[in-house]
Each structure stands twice: as C-alpha cells, then as structure tokens.
C-alpha cells in the first residue's frame, strides 16, 4: 500500500530499485547517559538493554552480520544498523574497527549509526564521511523533543543547542541525519509536538522516526507511571497528533518509522502500542479520506524553532 507520506521503502526503491532490510547490530557500546559521564540512570524510558532487547550481545559484530547474511538471497540489499546504545561513544579507531566488522559483504549498502548528539565530533563526522565514499551513511540522533523542560524531565542529558551543533557538524560533512521523535512524552501537548516538528524541519533533517511513548517495565518511567505522575496518550490522540505532525513535515523528509516496537513481555503500558498495523492503517486511511499528505500544510513558519 502506498502511504500518504515519504517512506524509507520509497527512498530505497529510488536508490536501489528494491526493498532493503536491516541487520540490527549490538556494537558493544555503552551510553554516557548511563555510565555517569553525562548522567546516570539513562533516559527515563530506556530499558536495561537500551534499544536492543532482541539483539544478542554475546555474538561478535561480524557474527551478528553473518547470521543474517548467510541466509539472505544473493540479490538482497541490507542496512547495517548499529542500533543499541550510543554507537559513536568510543575513540575513532575503535569505531572504525567495529563498523568495519559489520561491513563484510557487498550486499550491505547502508551504514546506519544510532547515537546521541553529545557524541558527535568533527573527528567522528570525518570518519563517517570516509565511509560515505563507498556506502550510504545515515546518522540517527535521539532528539525525542525540542522542549528542554521535557528533556530534563526524561533525563535526556543534553539541551537543544547540543542537538543543533551535532546536526551542523554532520551536515558540514554531508551526512544525512535522521531524527528520533517521541509523541506523548509526560506532560507534553500537541504544541510541544509541533515545536519539535518545526525544529526537525528547520535543521534540514533528512529523515525522521516517530513513535508514541511506551512504558517498559523496570524503567524510571515505569515508576513514574505507576505512581500516577502522568497518563499515556490514547491511540486516538497518537493518530491525531501523528497526522498533524506529518501534514506540517517538510515533504522532502523521509519517514523511517511511525510506530514503536516493544517486546510484549517488557511492555507495561499502553497496550495499544503493539497494534502497529492498525495504527499505520488508520493513519493512512484517515489521511487519504481527508485528502491529506505529508507536508500538505507545510509553510515557512513550519521551519521556525
Ligand atoms: S541516550 Fe539512548 S541508550 Fe542512552 S539512556 Fe537515552 S535512550 Fe538509552
């Protein structure tokens, strides 16, 4: 089904003429917001295993890539996605060794690095720009919100200027930036969401990943939720806000994701988060029925922070 927004699948068909899938990799990194360097405890929503509950940290990087590629068709194409924790949080020679360990096959076309803005330096951008001579390279930054008060509330460990600086460096080296955004963070309203979308537009992001806040068991967020500090938004509100965000999003920005992904056993609330197909279909149907598409309301003020 064709979505009323510019999807990663569409981009990959434009670049490679086919669907391209991800090898999700645990690169053996930690996070400065967990180890005490910039903070401890991590972002309130982050579980013990970061974003890698389904990954196997016992395997080497090469073994993780081989496990997927050994079963993959010869004509398939892949993204090596360093997903878990902060994948630029090490000296440059260590980063190079770990990225090289994943790039073991011609079928890998994209090197995709998930990280934090406070772990982007000129030196790291220069290293990634070297890879960009042979691969498509993406850098994913976890912004979640442009609101500094919310950032403090979720213990993100950096403020907006840090994000702006990281994007500036990455853009200077010609590296595409994908921004992670969460809708429904505690005490945020649609106004906060739209300010975040304006920020994503204003910095010239190349991609965005959007999902609704979900609460994993055994996190700080879970404690706050169980103490009644906030109420998660409903599926209906998420769909309303997501559509509002998409219609004001620069139509050039690729939408890499519109739903979250949490293992059932680890999910505390809200239950509706696992109904990913229903969420995506409802967004598509509502937008199509109302003649809406990504960026249909996008105008100059949607680029003001
Ligand atoms: S920056 Fe990422 S890995 Fe680090 S605590 Fe926050 S969500 Fe977890």
CA pair distance 121, 143, nearest whole angstrom: 17
88 lines ligand 1 (CB under 6 A): no
CA pair distance 141, 72, nearest whole angstrom: 29
| Per-residue pLDDT tens listing for the chain (305 residues) | 689 999 999 999 999 999 999 999 999 999 999 999 998 889 999 988 766 667 777 899 999 999 999 999 999 999 999 999 999 999 999 999 999 999 999 999 999 999 999 999 999 999 999 999 999 999 999 999 999 999 999 999 999 999 999 999 999 999 999 999 999 999 999 999 999 999 999 999 999 999 999 999 999 999 999 999 999 999 999 999 999 999 999 999 999 999 998 989 999 999 999 999 999 999 999 999 999 999 999 998 999 88
pLDDT computed for residue 58 by the predictor: 85
CA pair distance 13, 7, nearest whole angstrom: 10
42 lines ligand 1 (CB under 6 A): yes
Give the dihedral sign, CA 157/229/181/218: positive
Rounded to 5 degrees, what angle do the CA atoms 5, 243, 217 make? 105
Contact status, residue 155 vs residue 220, Cβ threshold 8 Å: yes
Q: Tell me how far the alpha carbon of residue 141 lies from the centroid of ligand 1, in angstroms.
A: 11
* Residue bearing tokens 């809406």: 292
Q: Whose CA is nearest to atom 3 of ligand 1?
A: 85
Q: Tell me how far the alpha carbon of residue 118 lies from the centroid of ligand 1, in angstroms.
A: 12
Query: Which DSSP category does 232 fall into?
Result: P
Taking the CA atoms of residue 192, residue 162, residue 57 and residue 54 in that order, the dihedral angle to the nearest 10 degrees is 10
3-state secondary structure of 178: strand
117 lines ligand 1 (CB under 6 A): no
Q: Whose CA is nearest to atom 6 of ligand 1?
A: 43
185 lines ligand 1 (CB under 6 A): no
pLDDT computed for residue 90 by the predictor: 98
49's tokens: 């295993």
Domains and CATH numbers, the chain: 8-303 (3.80.30.30)
Query: Which DSSP category does 7 fall into?
Result: B
pLDDT computed for residue 55 by the predictor: 73
3-state secondary structure of 79: strand
43 lines ligand 1 (CB under 6 A): yes
Closest ligand 1 atom to the C-alpha of 42? 5
Q: Tell me how far the alpha carbon of residue 50 lies from the centroid of ligand 1, in angstroms.
A: 6
50 lines ligand 1 (CB under 6 A): yes
Q: Answer whether 0.95 is exceeded by the pTM.
A: yes
Q: Count Cβ atoms within 10 A of the Cβ of residue 262 and give its class: 0-12 exposed, 13-18 middle, 19 or more buried.
A: middle
Q: Which residues partner with 210 through β-bridges?
A: 181
139's tokens: 């850098």
Closest ligand 1 atom to the C-alpha of 45? 7
Contact status, residue 30 vs residue 149, Cβ threshold 8 Å: no
Count CB atoms within 10 A of the CB of residue 212. Answer: 24
DSSP characters over 99-166: HHHH--STTEEEEEEEE-GGG--HHHHHHHHHHTTTSEEEEEEEEE-S-HHHHHHTT----HHHHHHH
Q: Tell me how far the alpha carbon of residue 31 lies from the centroid of ligand 1, in angstroms.
A: 6
Closest ligand 1 atom to the C-alpha of 32? 4
142 lines ligand 1 (CB under 6 A): yes
Please choose from 26, 29, 44, 46 the residue to mutate so as to test ligand 1's pocket, defined by most ligand atoms within 8 A of CB: 46
């Amino acid at each position: 089904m064709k979505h009323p927004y510019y999807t990663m699948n569409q981009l990959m068909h434009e670049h490679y003429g086919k669907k391209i899938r991800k090898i999700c990799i645990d690169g053996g990194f930690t996070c400065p917001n967990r180890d005490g360097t910039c903070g401890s405890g991590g972002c309130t929503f982050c579980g013990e295993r970061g974003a890698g509950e389904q990954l196997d940290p016992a395997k080497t990087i090469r073994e993780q890539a081989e496990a997927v590629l050994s079963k993959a068709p010869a004509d398939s194409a892949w993204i090596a996605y360093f997903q878990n924790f902060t994948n630029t949080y090490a000296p440059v020679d260590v980063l190079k060794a770990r990225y090289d360990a994943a790039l073991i096959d011609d079928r890998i076309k994209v090197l995709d690095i998930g990280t934090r803005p406070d772990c982007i330096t000129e030196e790291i951008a220069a290293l990634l720009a070297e890879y960009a001579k042979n691969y498509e390279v993406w850098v994913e930054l976890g912004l979640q919100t442009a609101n500094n008060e919310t950032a403090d509330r979720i213990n993100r460990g950096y403020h907006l200027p840090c994000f702006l600086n990281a994007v500036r460096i990455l853009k200077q080296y010609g590296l595409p930036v994908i921004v992670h955004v969460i809708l429904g963070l505690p005490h945020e309203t649609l106004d906060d969401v739209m300010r975040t979308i304006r920020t994503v537009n204003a910095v010239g992001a190349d991609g965005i990943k959007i999902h609704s806040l979900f609460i994993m068991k055994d996190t700080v967020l879970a404690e706050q939720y169980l103490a009644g500090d906030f109420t998660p938004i409903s599926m209906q509100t998420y769909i309303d806000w997501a559509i509002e965000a998409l219609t004001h999003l620069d139509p050039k920005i690729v939408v890499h994701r519109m739903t979250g992904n949490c293992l059932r056993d680890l999910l505390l609330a809200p239950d509706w988060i696992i109904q990913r197909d229903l969420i995506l279909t409802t967004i598509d149907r509502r937008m199509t029925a109302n003649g809406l598409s990504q960026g249909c309301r996008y105008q100059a003020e949607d680029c003001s922070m």
